[in-house]
Amino acid sequence: MRHLIQASLVTALLLVPAACGGTRPSAAESTTPTTRRDIIAREELDRGQWANAYEAVRNLPPLWLRVRGRDTINSEPGTVQVVLDDVRLGGTDALRTLPLTGVVYFQWMDGISASQRWGTGFGNGAILISTRPR
C-alpha cells in the first residue's frame, strides 16, 4: 500500500507541470511577429496614405501626442518634443511640415529617457525621427 501511495504521488508530481503549460515555443516556432509599441517602422508608414509625419503619428500610435502634464515647476504647459536625427525641431507642430520621404522610423521616448539623452525640456517625452537605419 505504501508503494502505491508513493507511486501515485510521483505520478501526480510529474503530470501537474505538464498540464500547467509545458514549454514555450522558441522564436523560430512562433508565427506571430513581435511589434514594439515605441517604434513605427517604414513598413507601417508605407501601408498608409498620410500627407505628413503628423498624420502618420496621429493615426498609428495616437498616445504619443498626448501631453502628460506641466513641464516645469513654474506650471508652464509642456509639449512633446520632436527630434530629427538628434536635432531638436520643437513641438509636435514640427511634424506637420515634415514629409515622410526619407523617414526610416519613428521612436517614442518617455520624458525620463529623453531628458537623460538630450537634457531639460523633454519632460513630456520625445518623438525621435530617423532617416538612418538602426
Q: What is the pLDDT of residue 59?
A: 87
**Homologous superfamily assigned to 33-130:** TonB-dependent receptor, plug domain (2.170.130.10)
Q: Distance (Å, rounded) from C-alpha 16 to C-alpha 46?
A: 48
Report pLDDT digits (tens) over 38-50.
899 999 889 888 8
pLDDT at residue 30 greater than cutoff 90 = no
pLDDT at residue 72 greater than cutoff 70 = no
Q: What letter represents residue 83's amino acid? A: V
Q: Are 133 and 104 in contact (CB under 8 A)?
A: yes
Mean pLDDT along residues 93-113: 92
Mean pLDDT along residues 100-108: 93
Cell of 56: 502618420
Domain ranges of the chain: 33-130
133 phi, psi to nearest 5 deg: -65, 150
Q: What is the pLDDT of residue 117?
A: 93
Arithmetic mean of pLDDT over the chain: 76
